[in-house]
Amino acid sequence: MIREMGYIYPNGTEALININLSISKGELVGIMGKNGAGKTTLIRTLNGLIRPSRGNIFIENENINSKTIASLSKNVGIVFQNPYHQLFANSIEEEIKFSLKSLNLSKEEIQNRINQILQDFNLEKYRKRSPLNISGGESKKLAIASIICRNPEVLVFDEPTLGQDEKEIKFFINLINNERKKGKTIIIITHNTEFAYEYLPRTILMADGQIVADGLTKRVLNNTFLLSQTSLILPQIRQFCSALQQIGFQETNNITSRNEMVEYLRNFLKDKSTKT
Ligand SMILES: Nc1ncnc2c1ncn2[C@@H]1O[C@H](COP(=O)(O)OP(=O)(O)OP(=O)(O)O)[C@@H](O)[C@H]1O
Ligand SMILES: [Mg+2]
């Protein structure tokens, strides 16, 4: 829970203004908004990388004010926008090993976790390779693996689908589904309205350092005023419905997914063929 939080960067930029926010354990939430809205700044406050200039943050009812980054990062794992800000070890194996270092695990457990995560993420073949010598998409995956291996209760992803191909986006969706089954709280920053519309039940919309909307994604991303205010594109399914409404199909107003559209068109065509 975040109460009346504000943050001003040392250069005077007021990046967060009076943020009030509550996320329940096990929730899956999106944060959206245009470039410079304050999304990354907001998540950096969650593991103590930056400390609020005003207000408070509580995780499981504890004020995180007095907690160190080291202890907070055991609970909150953040995968940053640019993997190269996160990766620095000499090999992919070392990268995971370093990430596990502060968890006080036995040597055997560390080795088991490294093997498991490299296998789960299909990165075994690059084990000894430098993180600098893999592709952009693979480095993004490695950055995710290096956080997941720590098994934090809260997972935060900054633009996880950016630059990823369809197969990797599917891999990511599968990953968040699995983490949710384990009861993890997941926060995802994204500009991808299609992804948010389909997979994220709740969306927090930010503009100019403030929260301008917070609610059901299907409602938030249907609000054309809010979308234009935050430079986001109406999801394709809604664009299609709006085109159909303009030519008289008002009932498509309630359609929110591809499956509902297929069902609607199937019934429409069935009706039409029985009438003719
Ligand atoms: N290290 C910094 N020092 C000073 N100002 C910063 C710093 N990082 C970000 N800002 C400023 O703070 C504001 C919020 O930036 P932030 O990175 O949180 O935006 P964002 O919503 O994540 O944008 P994007 O979608 O481009 O990633 C912007 O005005 C930005 O210029
Ligand atoms: Mg950002």
Instruction: Give the DSSP letter string of 186-203.
Output: EEEE-S-HHHHHHH-SEE
Mark whether 160 and 147 lie in a shared domain: no
Decide if 149 contacts 117 (C-beta within 8 A).
yes
Domain boundary pick from 134, 151, 168: 151
- The tokens describing 78, both together, are 């953040």
DSSP-assigned letter for residue 164: -
Measured by CA distance, the residue closest to atom 27 of ligand 1 is 35
Residue 83 in domain: no
For ligand 1, say whether the CB of 43 is within 6 Å of any of its atoms: no
Residue 84 in domain: no
Domain boundary pick from 129, 151, 173: 151
How big is the CA angle at 178 (ends 177 and 180), to the nearest 5 degrees?
65
At residue 112, the 3 state secondary structure works out as: helix
Mark whether 156 and 140 lie in a shared domain: no
Q: What is the CATH number of the domain that holds 190?
A: 3.40.50.300
**Rounded Cα–Cα distance for residues 207 and 231 (Å):** 10
**Rounded Cα–Cα distance for residues 29 and 157 (Å):** 11
Domain boundary pick from 127, 151, 175: 151
At residue 254, the 3 state secondary structure works out as: helix
Residue 164 in domain: yes
Mark whether 159 and 221 lie in a shared domain: yes
The answer for residues whose C-beta is within 8 angstroms of residue 26's C-beta and 6 or more apart is 180, 183, 184, 185
For ligand 1, say whether the CB of 131 is within 6 Å of any of its atoms: no
Mark whether 67 and 132 lie in a shared domain: no
Mark whether 227 and 248 lie in a shared domain: no
Q: Which atom of ligand 1 is nearest to the CA of 13?
A: 5
Residue 208 in domain: yes
The total number of structural domains in the chain stands at: 3
**Rounded Cα–Cα distance for residues 50 and 34 (Å):** 21
> Which ranges constitute the DSSP H helices of the chain?
39-44, 69-75, 92-100, 107-120, 136-148, 166-181, 193-199, 217-220, 224-229, 236-246, 258-275
Mark whether 101 and 68 lie in a shared domain: no
- The tokens describing 221, both together, are 């991303």
**Rounded Cα–Cα distance for residues 192 and 246 (Å):** 26
Q: What tens-digit pLDDT sequence spans the chain (276 residues)?
A: 788 788 899 999 999 999 999 999 999 999 999 999 999 999 999 988 889 999 989 988 888 888 888 888 889 999 998 888 878 888 999 999 999 988 888 999 999 999 999 999 999 999 999 888 888 888 899 999 999 999 999 999 999 988 888 899 999 999 999 999 999 999 999 999 889 998 999 999 999 999 999 999 999 998 888 888 888 888 888 889 889 989 998 888 888 888 899 999 999 898 878 776
Domain boundaries, position 270: 235-276
Residue 82 in domain: no
Q: What is the pLDDT of residue 276?
A: 63
Smallest CA-to-CA distance from 138 within 83, 89, 187 is with: 83
Mark whether 157 and 31 lie in a shared domain: yes
Q: What is the pLDDT of residue 83?
A: 83
Q: Which atom of ligand 1 is nearest to the CA of 41?
A: 18
For ligand 1, say whether the CB of 85 is within 6 Å of any of its atoms: no
Mark whether 180 and 118 lie in a shared domain: no
Mark whether 9 and 126 lie in a shared domain: no
Q: What is the pLDDT of residue 135?
A: 85
Mark whether 241 and 111 lie in a shared domain: no
Mark whether 168 and 69 lie in a shared domain: yes
Stated pTM of the model: 0.91
Residue 269 in domain: yes
- The tokens describing 265, both together, are 């068109």
Residue 80 in domain: no
How many A from CA of 32 to the centre of ligand 1?
14
Tokens 């891999």 locate to 171
Mark whether 160 and 221 lie in a shared domain: yes
Q: What is the pLDDT of residue 254?
A: 84
